[in-house]
Amino acid sequence: MFSPDQENISASTKVPVKYGELIVLGYNGSLPNGDRGRRKSRFGLCKRPKANGVKPSTVHVACTPQAAKAISNKDQHSISYTLSRAQTVVVEYTHDNNTDMFQIGRSTEGPIDFVVTDTVPGSQSNSDTQSVQSTISRFACRIICERNPPYTARIYAAGFDSSKNIFLGEKAAKWKTSDSQMDGLTTNGVLVMHPRNGFTEDSKPGVWREISVCGNVFTLRETRSAQQRGKMARMDRMEQFQKEREDLEKAQGECKRKLSEVQRKIKELEVSGTDDAKSELQKLQQEQQGLKKEEKSCDKKLEEHRKQEKKMPWNVDTLSKEGFSKSVFNVKPEDKEETEEEKEQKHKTFVEKYEKAIKHFGMLRRWDDSQKYLSDNPHLVCEETANYLVIMCIDLEVEEKHALMEQVAHQTIVMQFILELARSLKVDPRACFRQFFTKIKVENETNELVDGSLVDLCGAALLWRTAEGLAHTPTVKHLEALRQEINAARPQCPVGFNTLAFPSMKRKDVVDEKQPWVYLNCGHVHGYHNWGNKEERDGKERECPMCRSRGPYVPLWLGCEAGFYVDAGPPTHAFSLCGHVCSEKTVTYWSQIPLPHGTHTFHAACPFCAQQLTGEQGYIRLIFQGPVD
């Protein structure tokens, strides 16, 4: 997010606003033979001089003349859903002045902004990357960025071709949504994973989801190209839980109805003294005992379900709908009711004192940031803040700043629900806002890209870094300083006593005579040597002269792609088996990330070369020996 001061500086110096960057996993700073044109290892998304975004407009059903015209019109963007040979649904897209569109894919045609080819693990030249048949779509996906702060970026499967069309054939997975709109998935799909706790040293891997053509989020299909789509990630869980409760309540009601009916019949038969009545009464009493047991079982299941419901994280979508459906503010109960004049004066005094702080809270996007800010400013947890945020929303909507309005509206809902929670618990709002953030769902299951989001195109994985995230990322200059600092310490081979040195970052693929090598089983760093018998030298494993442990013996390379680092720590650890060196926090994070591989498998890999990690942890701590003099 850019501050107003940053925006003014950007406008005055004519420097384009940067939305973020896409970095291809598997390349250590550049493509093997260098970055050229639209084919590069990282691609910056900047604000365009003129907006080129599009948004859905008219829907045409069947092969009508209007639909045919939309498909043939090169100035009209459209998505075509072929349901059968006799029926096609065409959705026209119109120009959107508030967004910029960027397209990613394998094609080198004009509409593609960022050309991505299949990543071959450990490739050293472009010839190594030429696969027999690419699995990346020619027009894989598109990213839509808001031109106004907070510059939200959203990803959608499929991109528009040279004719400004997206075609989903008869065999493609597609369906009609609940609001009568069309949606679908591409052949191999576009997968996205949002990290938890942002892209920081405290980051944890999220859950992989699939993004549809319209930007909806789904669980993964059984296989990458299966025609049956996954479940809608967020709403499906709620609907399933709701259905379970309805079924339990229905079963409980039916059981009570039957028990009531049996009890009524028993009372009638108890009055009658005939033999037939006694026999029937005995049967009904046995049935009554069975129904009472069934009733207890239903009550127990329903109670367990309610307990699970209380433990469930709250859903952002339902919070939003619920919040705006109410037209009253959630007011903290007070012993003495205030007059309208007193309320107005109290609101005016509060806003004059804390207006800047309220506006800052309204612009926060992450749950963790909101919780921390309210922890530092608990006086903001009150009705006056919620009221002022509502006024902010109205003002922003009048000014046609829709993206900002949506952001502030989200924070308004957050504050309103904290107040609602306090009222239901009959406590001060300041005493329960932490409980709200503990219960609220942290994972943001939308198509909105956040710092550190991973995008998999079935053949290449991309890392999304926001402009704000890159500002806190170590630079190449910083990495070069770390390299020089290690070399200045003059690490030595513990056996040969020759000084070791990491080669220049420009020569990151050429083995140098002073290159440090490591035994990956123990972490001891040596210079290259030919000790041992010929069978050992030719094999994959060698014995460390220091500790006698056997394991792979590989050269060490400094990780040169700064965008992959989660912190600015010293390069003390190396990935196994490739030998790329970076900080401890960075190797720990990437060793936990399950990257898609093939059609239905996942494994952790080195971000600098895409080679699969081996060993128990996937990395090793390096043990250097200093100079003996």
pLDDT digits (tens, 9 = 90+) for 351-362: 888 999 999 999
Of 60, 117, 126, residue with least CA distance to 93? 60
Contact between 576 and 552 (Cβ < 8 Å): yes
Residues 6+ apart with CB under 8 A from 511: 528, 555
Residue 414 structure tokens: 């957050």
Res 309: pLDDT: 65
Last residue of a domain, one of 423, 442, 461: 442
Of 530, 600, 545, 541, residue with least CA distance to 576? 541
Residues 6+ apart with CB under 8 A from 322: none
Residue 474 structure tokens: 């170590």
Please return the burial class of 598, using the count of CB atoms within 10 Å of its CB with bins 0-12, 13-18 and 19+.
exposed
Placement of tokens 């120009």 in the chain:
95
Distances (CA, A) of 195 to 80, 87, 415, 463, 467: 33, 41, 25, 11, 17
Report the CATH number at residue 395: 1.20.58.610
Placement of tokens 């506006």 in the chain:
359
Of 488, 451, 458, 459, residue with least CA distance to 566? 451
Partners of 60 in the β-ladder: 90
Distances (CA, A) of 611 to 40, 404, 466, 585, 617: 19, 42, 26, 19, 14
Distance CA 468, CA 448 (A): 15
Distances (CA, A) of 122 to 128, 580, 611, 613: 9, 11, 6, 12
Distance CA 419, CA 422 (A): 5
In the chain, the N- to C-terminal Cα span, in Å, equals: 51
Contact between 46 and 20 (Cβ < 8 Å): no
Q: Same domain for 540 and 405?
A: no
- Domain assignment present for residue 549? The answer is yes
- Count how many residues are written for the chain: 629
Distance CA 518, CA 553 (A): 6
Q: Which one-letter amino acid corresponds to residue 551?
A: G
- Domain assignment present for residue 6? The answer is no
Q: Same domain for 25 and 78?
A: yes
Q: Same domain for 284 and 247?
A: yes
Q: Same domain for 107 and 63?
A: yes
Res 329: pLDDT: 44
Q: Which one-letter amino acid corresponds to residue 562?
A: A
Residues 6+ apart with CB under 8 A from 438: none
**Maximum Cα–Cα distance for the chain, whole Å?**
113
Q: Same domain for 430 and 389?
A: yes
Of 473, 463, 466, 471, residue with least CA distance to 19? 466
- Domain assignment present for residue 221? The answer is no
Say how far residue 401 (Cα) sits from the centre of its chain. Answer: 25
Half-sphere exposure of 120 (CA within 13 A, CB side): 14
Q: Same domain for 304 and 376?
A: no
Please give the torsion angle defined by the CA atoms of residues 576, 582, 584 and 588, in that order, rounded to the nearest 10 degrees.
-50
Q: Which residues of the chain have pLDDT under 70?
A: 1-14, 62-73, 123-132, 178-179, 231-241, 273, 308-338, 438-444, 506-510, 532-540, 627-629
Res 512: pLDDT: 79
Distance CA 168, CA 90 (A): 10
Q: Same domain for 477 and 598?
A: yes
- Domain assignment present for residue 317? The answer is no
Contact between 426 and 333 (Cβ < 8 Å): yes
- Domain assignment present for residue 2? The answer is no
Contact between 64 and 87 (Cβ < 8 Å): no
Res 25: pLDDT: 95
Distance CA 463, CA 454 (A): 5
- Domain assignment present for residue 568? The answer is yes
Q: How many domains does the chain have?
A: 4
Is it true that the peptide bond before 150 is cis, omega within 30 degrees of 0?
A: yes
Res 277: pLDDT: 74
Q: Which domain holds residue 107?
A: 18-123+131-216
- Domain assignment present for residue 356? The answer is no
Q: What does the DSSP assignment read for 34-103?
A: --BTTB-SEEEEE--SS--EEEEEEEEESS-HHHHHHHH-TTSEEEEEEEETTEEEEEEEEEETTEEEEE
Q: Same domain for 436 and 483?
A: no
Placement of tokens 């006799």 in the chain:
86
- DSSP for residue 116: -
Q: Same domain for 437 and 481?
A: no
Last residue of a domain, one of 186, 216, 246: 216
Q: Same domain for 586 and 477?
A: yes
Q: Same domain for 292 and 408?
A: no
Distances (CA, A) of 558 to 38, 125, 173, 210, 511: 26, 18, 43, 33, 12
- Domain assignment present for residue 50? The answer is yes
Q: Same domain for 156 and 46?
A: yes
Distance CA 27, CA 42 (A): 9
What are the E-state strand segments in 199-338? 209-211, 217-218
Q: Which one-letter amino acid corresponds to residue 280?
A: E
Phi, psi of 157 (to 5 degrees): -75, 145
